Structure 1
Amino acid sequence: MITPAQAEQAIRSHATLLPTEHRPLATLANAVLREAVVSQRDQPPYDRVTMDGIAFASAAASRGQRTFRVAGTQAAGAPPLELPSEEACFEVMTGAMLPRGCDCVVPVERIVREGDLARLADDVIPSPDLNVHTRGLDCRAGQPLLEPGTRLQAPEIAIIASAGIAQVQVTRSPRIAVITTGDELVEPGEPVEAWQIYRSNAYAVLASLRARGHADLTHQHLPDDLAVLRTQLRAQLDAHDVLILSGGVSMGQFDYVPQVLAELGIAVVFHKIAQRPGKPMWYGVGAGGKTVYALPGNPVSTLMCLVRYVLPGLEAAMGATPAPVEAITLAEDFAVKPAVTLFLPVRLRPDEAGRASGEPRPTQGSGDFTSLAGTDGFVELPPGPQVVPKGTVVPFYRW
């Protein structure tokens, strides 16, 4: 069996880039940029006043002048005024263009107004560029601002807008179908027999995907019926870029999913990973980059495999620059018994040094979803048998 690192690498290497589309600013949250964004002009584009107050020539103050005649008001969004003499000043507003002939600003709290005169407080020492955000200080025209592969959040969208760009090229959202299988599953809210359980995996998967900005989602439940699986999975493959299945990939008599996927032309890349929980995971690709993640049906396994493998695979298909894996310390010694990688749920808490630390919250098994309440994610521990000591730095994956 392959290791978790090998599984992730296989998924990334087989990812097919999704097509692009141009989208306006208001729709860019969580999108992945597919073009370079370059500054259209200097930022700021002019010497910008950073405080309400008065603007004047600092050279006059250096010669001993402390009182200036207010010659007018420079408002934000207005063309620049011109200083009539070094004995004069302008009242200025935050964000305004620095008037011509002025090179410093003293805030209103540090001046005394007497009619049309403004006197500097005794402890004010004027100097060039005081309280002035000078032109081009942030970046120059033609300077790269954002690279392809950037995940667009509020700061990046503000940068695009401030560059005067109304729309950019991003990856089209992947069309994802979440499919559960199993005759034992019943929709929440419906009557349930003693031998049945409620369908929960699909809603956990959908919630995780939506939290990461994936919106083009459908879901369906299929019985353990070979003919139905063939017909419905073919239809879902025709309509979607990605299928995420939960259940039907183990070694049971009715675990038909790998067989049906092979019949539908999905070539297996790997089946089974040396990990617990989630060993039976299946991954394959088909014509045109169609991608299938077949996750084990136990709830904890489903969610952990989704976070560890499906989310990075979607990022790769969208052309996103891989984010570094978060690392935390282990809050307690923990004994790893299986000779495979262990995924251990944890609750975050600060350690003695204030660093993020993971308090182990082991489940009663891969079907024990209830034990995940209050956890923040899981850590990846090396194969056992061994005791991983408190304070060990380990990879951490958030739900």
Structure 2
Amino acid sequence: MTELISVAEAEALVAQHMPRFGSERVALERAAGRLLRQAVHAEHDHPPFDRVMMDGIAVRWHDPLPREFQLAGTQLAGMAAQSLDSGGACLEVTTGAVLPGGCDCVIPVEQTRREGARYLLLDGCRPARGQFVHARGADCPAGSLLLEAGMRIGAPEMALLAANGVVEVEVAAVPSVAIVSTGDELVAVDAPLGQGQIRRSNDVAILAALRLHGFDRIVRHHVADDGPATRALLADLLAAHDVLILSGGVSVGQRDYVPESLDALGVRRVFHRIAQKPGKPMWFGAGPRGQVVFALPGNPVSALVCTIRYARPALLASMGMAAGQPEQVRLDGPVDASELLTCFVPAHVHSDAQGSMIAHAVPSRTSGDFSALPRTHGVVQLPPGQATAAAGDVVAFYRW
């Protein structure tokens, strides 16, 4: 029997053997959702000019300020900068326009009344120098670091890329992933159930856990508990994909053919079996061309826990995602744990009145019971050493 390794050892070994998937350049409109692999600096001052923030009139502020101004022209958004020479005059301005030369104050139109070619300030209007002026470079000066490599490109990041003239974006290349379900008892989702059969669900759950984080090069396969068939399928997949994620066939049963098939195909075992519950039988190995193989237990909760705890974060890190610490949550009550094993327990999380994250455990009855998982947000990781984790304990939390 293979000796159990700790969760920390398994995590470190996976990280040591992960390949780097490189990068590619894509058009800006295709960059949303991808991992950024370049630093982005401000092309120019933001804003690039003193910018008007309200529709109204632009004036030169002095004390005392006149209560009426002679209209000297208009400054619209997109126009070249106009100039104001007289302290008793004003220019009509619109939001987003360049602040006219000689002006340092914008008075909102709601605080004025126009009478012919002059503007009068309403009672109670007390303008101040610099009001409603978005100063050049106030957001950031030219050359400032705006985006760092490793960030996920969302809507705000897309806006910054566009505003700084980034037409093509260097992003992480997405690895090709094959997900394989093993087992005689498994049938397709749309197939009728015969005696002793269940529908495949692990592959769909693993696919979702990856696709929701930007992995879109995924295929799914199924193989029965048959040695030659398992070796043939795995040989084809190792030749075509960067990553294999298998579900089932990794225990020590008489029909668990995955480890011996991988060994026959030149995939070197890095570890087999982790001191955790659920997910103890997990297997991980490295292929002859740098491929990696995550062979997960077949029970649904075990497979999903191993996916979110090992496979997904390792793939994201290999693509260049900036490393971060797991969320920390506080248990709202005692939870069964183990003196020997790290326990992963499904939990619902919420924020308390002080803004701390609180976890309410929703334990599965078995590692095959996934019916309650939709009412949870992820799993808490309970370290070994005690039979029960106490209410108030702060533990790591991993989201589905």
Is TM > 0.5 for Structure 1 vs Structure 2?
yes
Q: Which residue of 2 aligns with 1:15?
A: 18
One-letter code aligned to 1:210: R
Tell me the CA shift for residue 235 of structure 1: 1.1
Q: Percent identity?
A: 46
The answer to whether the 8 A contact 1:8-1:312 is kept is: no
Question: For 1:4, which of 4, 7, 10 is the aligned residue?
Answer: 7
Q: C-alpha separation between the residues in 1 aligned to 2:148 and 2:374?
A: 38
Q: Deviations over 1:7-38 (max 9, x none)?
A: 22222222221121111121112211112112
Q: C-alpha separation between the residues in 1 aligned to 2:36 and 2:354?
A: 37
Q: C-alpha separation between the residues in 2 aligned to 1:150 and 1:273?
A: 31
Tell me the CA shift for residue 351 of structure 1: 3.8
Higher mean C-alpha deviation, range 283-292 or range 172-181: 283-292
**Aligned ranges for residues 310-349 of structure 1 at < 5 Å?**
310-337=311-338, 339-349=340-350
Question: For 2:52, which of 3, 25, 49 is the aligned residue?
Answer: 49
**Aligned ranges for residues 233-252 of structure 1 at < 5 Å?**
233-252=234-253
The answer to whether the 8 A contact 2:75-2:97 is kept is: yes
The answer to whether the 8 A contact 2:339-2:387 is kept is: no
Q: C-alpha separation between the residues in 1 aligned to 2:108 and 2:276?
A: 62
Q: Which residue of 1 aligns with 2:285?
A: 284
Q: C-alpha separation between the residues in 1 aligned to 2:6 and 2:96?
A: 55
The answer to whether the 8 A contact 1:39-1:139 is kept is: yes
Structure 1 residues 235 and 106: CA distance shift in structure 2, 3 A = same
Q: C-alpha separation between the residues in 2 aligned to 1:128 and 1:292?
A: 65
**Normalising to structure 1: TM-score of the pair?**
0.95
SS of residue in 2 equivalent to 1:145 = strand
The answer to whether the 8 A contact 2:53-2:133 is kept is: yes
Tell me the CA shift for residue 138 of structure 1: 1.5
Q: Which residue of 2 aligns with 1:32?
A: 35
Unaligned 5+ runs, structure 2: none
Q: C-alpha separation between the residues in 2 aligned to 1:213 and 1:246?
A: 21
Q: Which residue of 2 aligns with 1:202?
A: 203
Q: C-alpha separation between the residues in 1 aligned to 2:139 and 2:288?
A: 46
One-letter code aligned to 2:154: Q
**Aligned ranges for residues 94-109 of structure 1 at < 5 Å?**
94-109=95-110
Q: Which residue of 2 aligns with 1:364?
A: 365
One-letter code aligned to 1:263: A
Q: C-alpha separation between the residues in 1 aligned to 2:83 and 2:353?
A: 59
Tell me the CA shift for residue 384 of structure 1: 4.2
Tell me the CA shift for residue 72 of structure 1: 2.2
Deviating above 4 A after TM superposition, structure 1's stretches of 4 or more consecutive aligned residues are none
Q: Which residue of 2 aligns with 1:185?
A: 186
State the superposition RMSD in angstroms: 1.6
The answer to whether the 8 A contact 1:49-1:98 is kept is: yes
Q: Which residue of 1 aligns with 2:396?
A: 395
Structure 1 residues 287 and 52: CA distance shift in structure 2, 3 A = farther
SS of residue in 2 equivalent to 1:206 = helix
The answer to whether the 8 A contact 2:294-2:311 is kept is: yes
Tell me the CA shift for residue 354 of structure 1: 4.9
One-letter code aligned to 2:176: R
SS of residue in 1 equivalent to 2:375 = coil
Unaligned 5+ runs, structure 1: none
Q: C-alpha separation between the residues in 2 aligned to 1:49 and 1:273?
A: 62
Q: Which residue of 1 aligns with 2:77?
A: 76
SS of residue in 1 equivalent to 2:372 = helix
Count of aligned pairs between the two proteins? 397
Q: Which residue of 1 aligns with 2:230?
A: 229
SS of residue in 2 equivalent to 1:373 = helix
The answer to whether the 8 A contact 1:42-1:135 is kept is: yes
Tell me the CA shift for residue 385 of structure 1: 3.4
Tell me the CA shift for residue 183 of structure 1: 0.8
Tell me the CA shift for residue 332 of structure 1: 1.0
Establish whether residue 219 from structure 1 lines up as the match of residue 225 from structure 2. Answer: no
One-letter code aligned to 2:397: F
**Normalising to structure 2: TM-score of the pair?**
0.95
Q: Which residue of 2 aligns with 1:116?
A: 117
Q: Which residue of 2 aligns with 1:149?
A: 150
The answer to whether the 8 A contact 1:201-1:246 is kept is: yes
One-letter code aligned to 1:58: W
One-letter code aligned to 1:282: W
One-letter code aligned to 1:72: G
Q: Which residue of 2 aligns with 1:133?
A: 134
Q: C-alpha separation between the residues in 1 aligned to 2:253 and 2:310?
A: 23
The answer to whether the 8 A contact 2:342-2:381 is kept is: yes
Q: Deviations over 1:294-352 (max 9, x none)?
A: 11110000011101111111111101111331111111112314521100001123446
Tell me the CA shift for residue 79 of structure 1: 1.3
Structure 1 residues 26 and 332: CA distance shift in structure 2, 3 A = same
One-letter code aligned to 1:6: E
The answer to whether the 8 A contact 1:12-1:312 is kept is: no
One-letter code aligned to 2:326: V
Q: Deviations over 1:186-245 (max 9, x none)?
A: 112212222111111011111111111211111111111111111111111111111111
The answer to whether the 8 A contact 1:52-1:93 is kept is: yes
Q: Deviations over 1:103-137 (max 9, x none)?
A: 12122222222222222234333333211111111
SS of residue in 1 equivalent to 2:233 = helix
Q: C-alpha separation between the residues in 2 aligned to 1:365 and 1:27?
A: 42
One-letter code aligned to 1:222: V
